[in-house]
Chain A
Amino acid sequence: MNDNTDELDELVSRYLDAEVTADETALVESDPKLLARADAMRAAIEAIATPVDIPTVDLDRRRTIALDAHPTSAQITDLSTARARTVERRNRFVAVAAGVVLLAVAFTAIQRLDLNDDDQADFATESTESGGQTSAAVDDALEMFSDDTALEEAAADTVEEAAEMDDGVGAGGDAAAIEGTSIDMLPDELAPVETAGDVVAIVDKAYADVPGISFSGDPFDGICPEAIRLITDLQPDTTVSVESAVVRVDAELLTVLVALTGFTEAETDAWIIVVHPVDDCAASTVISPESP
């Protein structure tokens, strides 16, 4: 589909939603082709809007199952109280997250310094202390947000990173860090790069020494459909894990997906990389068609 057609479809679509200016309305209504397109879209809209038969009995049964599975509290919560609680949670999370990030940044900066032996001894002590502080901060975060799944998951990710710091080992260097049901060889956000080739290089380096692991769970959990299609086209039935990260290329934020395959008990032998703009899965592209 070419860009011009998309633009005209968008104009017609907005026309049908009465989201156009007077000039745009005149443009559509003076063009028989655009009016015909509007009629065709209107037919589609009417079809979608056709009322759905509601299976009331079945739905009542499903609702009962849902309520039985997760009984609601008998306590009525005032919405303003709930709102204040949300704001407080967010503020506390931001404070803790900021602390964790600062510690991580400081740790990385220290790690990159060219230290002499004495300094390295000091650094080892600092490393242990800062790692411990990081873990404590994350524990606090987990406790505070234990009823919020998304925040809990975010904090859990940070725990893994903190564990790596405690070990004094960065991503890519510790087989123990990738055992279990997830792989975390890339940080969630990569440093800005200039080309797709840079992304490939980063990924190849990160996974170069990944040994074999036992993986269980759904490798595509949370991955968008077009990316899944591309991955499964290239690696039908063999993908065992997909890790995601975000990277900025020029001004655009891209989601980087690394789909790993061919795990044996001994080694990892292949991966492919798919990228797409963070909010546009349909634009997914494979940037490493040949597995390393």
Chain B
Amino acid sequence: MQKHQGRIYAICRRLAGNDADALDATQEALIAIVKGLDRFDGRAAFTTWSYRVATNACLDELRRRSRRPQPGLPDHEHADDEPLGGRPLRDPGETVAARMDVDDALRQLPEEFRAPVVLRDLAGLDYAEIAEVLELAPGTVRSRIARGRGRLADIVAGNHSLPDERQST
């Protein structure tokens, strides 16, 4: 569990967009893994299995939270406090990508795009593994990753209307 908790937190962190929710979601994910451990039968890699349990637990926790009234300021008002998933920027020479507020950008993605993109680009799972984790068809995973990346690219470029305006080639 100790070995895997960092990976699981990282996924929850990107899905949640802030530290506090990510920690709570990670705790729920760890509980779900502990509860489900006796059902792990080794047919999938433990990593894949644990990602599946953890991702679902994180998403469930975040859905529950999204439906509850949250006291205080909404998350986006804290966006400037916490760039890059909590990592303070120290080097002004960091890349454009690093300066982008990834949390804010991911928050603008619908959940069905966010989870596959995070599992692909943060966790490094391949399409088949993501399909297994999210219980989707591989074609759906490929499509959602592409659309999610496309939207993020537009957000990075600061042009949300770009997709409709781009011409076919």
Contact = CB atoms under 8 A, between A and B. Distances in A.
B157 A40 contact: yes
Interface string A1-14: 11011101110111
A63 B26 CA distance: 9
Contacts of B153: 37, 40-41, 43-44
A239 B160 CA distance: 32
B97 A59 contact: no
A52 B86 contact: yes
A79 B41 contact: yes
Given A4-B168, A43-B97, A62-B26, A72 B34 contact: yes
A148 B39 contact: yes
Contact of A147 (B38, B85, B111): B38
A86 interface: yes
A13 B156 contact: no
B145 interface: yes
Given A5-B164, A281-B112, A47 B143 contact: no
Contacts, number: 200
A150 to B, nearest CB: 10
Contacts of B58: none
Interface in A1-51: 1-2, 4-6, 8-10, 12-14, 16-17, 19, 31, 33-34, 37, 40-51
Prevailing SS type, chain A contact patch: helix
Contacts of B64: 218
Nearest to B159: A40
A66 B112 contact: no
A55 B127 contact: no
A63 B6 CA distance: 11
Interface string B8-38: 0110011000010001001100110111011
A56 B26 CA distance: 12
Size bracket, chain B contacts: 35 or more
Given A40-B157, A66-B27, A225-B112, A9 B146 contact: yes
A138 to B, nearest CB: 21
A207 B136 CA distance: 32
Nearest to B96: A43
Nearest to B163: A1
A62 B23 contact: yes
Nearest to A33: B169
A121 interface: no
Contacts of B87: 50-53
A77 interface: yes
Interface in A152-184: none
B161 to A, nearest CB: 10
B10 to A, nearest CB: 4
A292 B94 CA distance: 57
Contacts of A67: 1, 30, 34
A83 B146 contact: no
Contact of B31 (A14, A70, A73, A224): A70
Contacts of A70: 31, 34-35
A216 to B, nearest CB: 15
A14 B10 contact: no
Contacts of B37: 72
Nearest to A16: B149
A10 B110 contact: no
24 contacts: A2-B163, A4-B168, A5-B168, A6-B147, A8-B168, A12-B150, A31-B169, A43-B156, A45-B121, A49-B122, A53-B87, A55-B19, A59-B5, A59-B6, A66-B1, A66-B27, A70-B34, A82-B40, A85-B41, A148-B39, A218-B67, A224-B111, A225-B66, A281-B112
Given A86-B41, A279-B137, 12 more contacts: A10-B143, A33-B166, A40-B154, A40-B156, A43-B156, A44-B97, A45-B121, A47-B156, A52-B86, A67-B30, A82-B38, A82-B39
Give 9 nearest A-B pairs by CB, closest first: A79-B42, A13-B146, A44-B152, A66-B30, A40-B153, A9-B150, A46-B97, A10-B146, A82-B41
